[in-house]
Amino acid sequence: MDLPNESSPAHLLAIPGMMKVPTPRADLFILRDFLSPAECASLVARIERERRPSTIADANGDYAFRTSETCDLPMDDPEVSVLDEKLSALSGIARTFGEPIQGQRYEVGQEFKAHTDYFDPHGGDFARYCTVSGQRTWTFMVYLNAPDAGGATRFKVIDKLIQPEQGKLVCWNNRRPDGTINPATLHHAMKVRKGLKYVITKWYREKPWG
């Protein structure tokens, strides 16, 4: 039997508490309290221990474009495996199609300027990142805390600002209904003004992760 590699608005809206952002330009959803405070605290501690400088594909010469730190969560760890199963059940997408979960940490002044999660088909790094597993399809991101000030996620094209709240999940389809990449998913992880910000991100692919 083929493994499911796709989510849908109908699947997501059947989940209690799931809300769709009212825009015709993108499939963007919000679910509060996806993770408990204890789950968030455990992931924050892991990110603190294992963080490294974040990187980008198709470097553009702007060394302040992404200034956060990243943690690659070990997918063979029982706690991380449980989290991955939980995300797979929520999304309806088999774990086979998911990248390893990443954690991100932002200090005061750090940000990730406006970007898309899909890879530019004309970019120099496209073949490097997409030859085996294909393009990114869905993004599932969870805020692990709320910084004292700043750190919102701004979807500029659709004029939507999402404030970080502990345990809140935000997810979106990086494609239009016809399957082409959707520039309206452009988003900006805005600067933290006070405190720290932690998130985890799960990306899914067109084909099984290699």
pLDDT in tens, 44-78: 999 999 999 887 776 777 778 889 999 999 999 99
- Please state the length of the chain: 210
Q: Which residues contact 1 (CB under 8 A, 6 or more apart)?
A: none
The pLDDT tens digits for 21-48 are: 999 999 999 999 999 999 999 999 999 9
**123 CB-contact burial (10 Å; exposed 0-12 / middle 13-18 / buried 19+):** middle
- Return the closest-CA partner of residue 15 out of 1, 36, 29, 5: 29
Quick one: pLDDT at residue 15? 98
Give residue limits of the domains in the chain.
Answer: 9-205
What mean pLDDT do residues 184-190 have? 98
Per the CB < 8 A criterion, the answer to whether 205 and 134 are in contact is yes
Tokens at 205, concatenated: 């692919």
Architecture of domain 9-205: Sandwich (2.60)
Q: Which of helix, strand or coil describes residue 197?
A: strand
What mean pLDDT do residues 97-123 have? 96
Quick one: pLDDT at residue 2? 56
Quick one: pLDDT at residue 61? 73
What mean pLDDT do residues 113-131 have? 93
- The one-character DSSP state at 108 is B
pTM for the whole structure: 0.95
Q: Which residues contact 22 (CB under 8 A, 6 or more apart)?
A: none
Label residue 184 by pLDDT band (50, 70, 90). very high
Pairwise CA distance, residues 63 & 89, whole Å: 37
Query: Measuring CA to CA, how many Å separate 98 from each of 39, 94, 137, 180?
Result: 20, 7, 10, 19
Quick one: pLDDT at residue 65? 86
Across the chain, mean pLDDT equals: 95
Pairwise CA distance, residues 71 & 44, whole Å: 10
Tokens at 5, concatenated: 């590699």
Quick one: pLDDT at residue 1? 37
3 pLDDT more than 70:
no
Pairwise CA distance, residues 153 & 164, whole Å: 8
Quick one: pLDDT at residue 188? 97
